[in-house]
Amino acid sequence: MNTLKRKPYPPALRRGAMLFTREYTLKVFRQLEGWDPEFGQMFQRYVYGGLYDRNVIDQKTRELCAVAACTVVNALPQLETHIKAAIRAGATKKEVIEVIMQMTVYCGFPYFLQAARLFDRVMAEWDPKKEKGAKRRRG
């Protein structure tokens, strides 16, 4: 496993580990650092340690917003990540699929169908209880 040359920004690593797992977060940080170390640090501070770590809205709401946004722009790899993060943050499966269905108004049926089918696949293949250190967290 490649290691990061720079120490991760602690708030970014903490929030990323809560939402996406520590392993996934470090993988993202390594990839960004490989492209450009300065950009990788900016990303950690702005996204994971900045926007994702604010307390204005709760984490569940933030992740449901991410599910909606990823559905509308048909960003399926990111949608998979945020479906899981929403559930880790306390959203129910019913809430997540409802957000995806609500996006039909904004993106149409083709993107909705792709997102809903991805949701079905994720729910069939992923068991959050089997994740290392798994806990459903709120906030």
In the chain, which residues have pLDDT < 70?
A: 1-2, 132-139
How many residues in the chain? 139
Give the model confidence (pLDDT) of 30-65 as tens digits.
999 999 999 999 999 999 999 999 999 999 999 999
Q: Given this model, what pLDDT does residue 13 score? A: 96
Q: Residue 29 is encoded by which pair of tokens?
A: 């940080």
Entry pTM: 0.86
126 within 8 A of 107, measured Cβ to Cβ: no
pLDDT at 138: 41
pLDDT of residue 2: 57
Architecture of domain 59-129: Up-down Bundle (1.20)
The secondary structure of 14-60 as a DSSP string is HHHHHHH-HHHHHHHHHHHHHH-HHHHHHHIIIIITTGGG-SSS-HH
Q: Specify the domain boundaries for CATH 1.20.1290.10 within the chain.
A: 59-129
- In this prediction, residue 3 carries a pLDDT of 79
Q: What is the three-state SS of 102-132?
A: HCHHHHHHHHHHHHHHHHHHHHHHCCHHHCC
